[in-house]
Structure 1
Amino acid sequence: MTLTMRTIKIALATVLSIWLADLFQLESSLSAGIIAILSVLDTKKASVGTAVERFLSTLLALSIATVLFFFFGYGVAIFGVYLLLYVPLAYRFELQSGIAPCSVLVTHLMLAESVAASLLLNEVLLMAIGAGVAILFNLYMPNQEEELEQRLENIEDEMKNVLKSFDESLTEGERPAEMTETFNRLETKLNQAQRLALQEYDNQLFQKSDYYVRYFLMRQEQSTLLQQMSQNLTHIQITTRESKILGGLFYLTAEQLHELNTGEYLLRDVELLHDHFRESSLPQSREEFESRAILFQLMLDFKQFLMIKRKFSLEVQTTPSLALKWQSK
């Protein structure tokens, strides 16, 4: 939710809450507006969850305050005792989001020096109106799917750059200088995309799909593996026929890297390279032995890289809600 939209929602929710409180002739109607301000949050899930917490917290706060004020009076010291009882209980029952607004409602009882049923109902209605109106305005959230798709493509482009730099490193024997910068960009984009995907998921109250959450987690897992492979690349001392073949596979993967590519054919190519390693002659020098060992580990890591994507693809295709998303691509 953009700052502009959040500002508009807060302003409208506040005014409407105060207007409704005045319409029902409630005392301290401005408090309904303050509660609305506090209840306009970033996602539908957060708004609904917080509203429920605050309503329950209101019942708890008013119950404690009613007993204390009825038996011991309305002094400041008694308000302090109320806080000593209410605050830990609110945390105990995970209702702490209501501590501030509910305590403001309790001060209305102090000022009126009354715990009459009509006044208690007044405070409950103030909370219900403020939180309810905030939920009403937060039912509209802009669809982030277009933005998620753009981020998805950007992440795939960065991963393609990494794989092509792997090819360059294996075929030319030099680690590209911009590889570290590429990884930094990739991590930043993955973190941003995951936050947006979680926000979009929390804005789905009924027909929920965690497709993008799963997708970006899958790419995060692959990115972590690529960084590990990048470290191994620095230890290869000589260029061999096998290194060029593996480099070619990295380049081929970069060309075919796509959300809908399951990686099945690429896995077959890796198996063929694995067979080639088994059948090739033994290394003739220590340098060749060490390089071949690292290449073999790179090949195994690359196989794992592809299997991460295949696992994701299988999960998507066998989960009805995710399969619909996959088929719509």
Structure 2
Amino acid sequence: MKIGYRTIKTAIGTPVAIAIAQFLGLTNFVSAGILTMLCIQPSRKRSVLSAWDRFAACVLASILSFGFFEILGYNTIVLGIMLAFFIPLTVLLKITQGITTSSVIIINLYSAGHIDYVFLFNQFMLILVGIGIGLIVNLYMPSMDKQLREKQKKLETNFRIILYEIAAYIRDKNQTWDGKEITETEHILEETIELVERDRENHMLRSEHTYYDYFNMRAKQFDILKRMLPLVTKLPFKDPMSEEIANFFERLSEAVHPGNTAILFLKELNDLYTVFHDEDMPTSKEEFETRANLYRLLREMEDYLIIKKKFKKSDVVIKYKIKKTGST
């Protein structure tokens, strides 16, 4: 059984918070441990935001408890009235994450039967210790680079296979491919959404996030690949133009990597546009439909490459002109 980092942090932070509260001579010192447990979050950003919400809610709860209990009395009816007032107020102030944490403080104050400034200070120290320790242990977050690199490698492998299988189908209408890489790629992209978001939240001061940009780019390309699949099935068999496109897809499959050489393939695509426009005009409905599907496929291929071109600075420098009908 694998023990997660949040479990380890809880196991470390909870006894430390209780020990510090005991050392400081605070009453209800166990509450410090409970506050720490409630503050453990999956990312640094969530931890900081949660800590602020919980601190603000606990302070608000202490003030309201003092007012309600000391004026109206220590009974369950007053407790219910106070909660009915307190919870909507946290919603209004957008600190609802602190409701559970502040409930610990409210119960402590209610159980005391009398609140003075010394006891309020005691609760304030419990809040500082509990939330503070929770925030400190949450500052350490394991690197997700290894997981994200593995996802990246698998994703690129699948892209290579998909592009190669498209080329194979165009050449000889080979239908032996089961298409499992399509499903795998969808799952990989879904899994990376949470991982990348957590990694972004762990680097709050970083303005750019390479993995976020990378997987977002691949997700857009994958949508285009899925749109290409029905188009390639409509290409004519053993047609010179189809063979050129098959060769293009095969070369593209060999160049799937984190770098950016899209400009080279955009130049090749421009040449394919030239061949397309130099062909004779269609003379039948079937030829017209084939030509229309072919043009749509070229446009999809262009969009696929432009997405990669915009992803990062090109790894190659090349000067050429692209006709207006062929690219941007």
TM-score (norm 2): 0.90
Query: Which digits, 9 at most, give the CA deviation of each residue in 1:77-104, with x for residues without a partner?
Result: 1111111111111112221111112112
8 Å contact from structure 1 (residues 270, 303) kept in 2: yes
Question: Residue 166 in 1 paired to residue 163 in 2?
Answer: no
Alignment partners' CA distance in 2, 1:75 and 1:230 = 69
2-structure distance, mates of 1:239, 1:288: 14
- What stretches of structure 1 move > 6 A for 4+ residues in a row? none
- Which segment is superposed worse, 85-94 or 142-151? 142-151
SS in 1 for 2:48: helix
Aligned residues of 1:267 and 1:303 also touching (Cα < 8 A): yes
Q: Is the 8 A contact 2:269 2:298 kept in 1?
A: yes
Match of 1:261 in 2: 260
Deviation sequence 1:272-317 (CA, Å, 0-9, x none) = 100111111123443333222111101110000000010111499x
- TM-score, structure 1 normalization: 0.90
User: Residue 81 of structure 1 corresponds to which residue in structure 2?
Assistant: 81
CA contact (8 A) 2:20 2:129 kept: yes
Task: Rate the CA distance shift 1:262–1:60 in 2: closer, same or farther, 3 A.
Answer: farther
Q: CA 1:44 to 1:214, structure 2 compared with 1: closer, same or farther past 3 Å?
A: same
Task: Mark the runs of 5 or more structure 2 residues left unpaired by the alignment.
Answer: 316-328
1:198 is matched by which residue type in structure 2?
E
Distance 2:237 2:292 in 1: 12
In structure 2, do the counterparts of structure 1 residues 117 and 259 end up closer, same or farther at CA, with 3 Å as the change threshold? same
| Separation in structure 2 between the aligned mates of residue 176 and residue 192 of structure 1, nearest angstrom | 28
Q: What is the correspondence of 1:1-329 to structure 2 with a 5 Å cutoff?
A: 3-179=3-179, 181-207=180-206, 209-236=208-235, 238-314=237-313
Q: Which has more helix, going by share of residues?
A: 1
Q: Which amino acid aligns with 1:275?
A: T
Distance 1:240 1:131 in 2: 70
Give CA-to-partner distance per residue, 1:92-132, whole Å, 9 cap, x none: 22211111121121111111112211111222221221111
Q: CA RMSD in A?
A: 1.8
Q: Which amino acid aligns with 2:260?
A: N
Match in the other structure for 2:319: none
Q: What's the secondary structure of 2:254's corresponding residue?
A: helix
Whether the aligned pair in 2 keeps the contact of 1:164 and 1:254 (CA below 8 Å) is: yes
Residue 233 of structure 1, CA deviation: 2.6
* Seq. identity, %: 27
Mapped to 2, the partners of 1:237 and 1:253 lie a distance apart of 21
CA distance in 2, matches of 1:298, 1:176: 22
Q: Is this contact kept in 1: 2:172–2:237, CA < 8 A?
A: no
| Aligned residues of 1:14 and 1:37 also touching (Cα < 8 A) | yes
Report if the CA contact (8 A) 2:21-2:129 is conserved: yes
Please say which of residues 50-59 and 228-237 is displaced more in the overlay: 228-237
Instruction: State the SS of the aligned residue for 2:169.
Output: helix
Offset, 1:252: 0.7
Moved more, 202-211 or 263-272: 202-211
Deviations 1:244-278 (A, max 9, x none): 11111111111011111230000000011001111
SS at match of 1:41: coil
Residue matched to 2:323: none
Alignment CA distance shift 1:237-1:245 (3 Å):
closer
> CA offset at residue 173 of structure 1?
2.3
Aligned residues: 314
Q: CA deviation at 1:205?
A: 3.7
Please tell me whether the aligned partners of residues 168 and 176 of structure 1 are also in contact (alpha carbons under 8 angstroms).
no
Over residues 43-102 of structure 1, what are the superposed CA-to-partner deviations in whole Å (9 max), with x where a residue is unaligned?
A: 111111111110011111122222111210111011111111111111122211111121
Q: Which digits, 9 at most, give the CA deviation of each residue in 1:157-188, with x for residues without a partner?
A: 11111111111121112455422x21110011
1:208: Cα distance to partner?
5.1
Query: 1 CA distance for matches of 2:99 and 2:110?
Result: 16
CA contact (8 A) 2:263 2:314 kept: no
Amino acid at match of 1:202: E
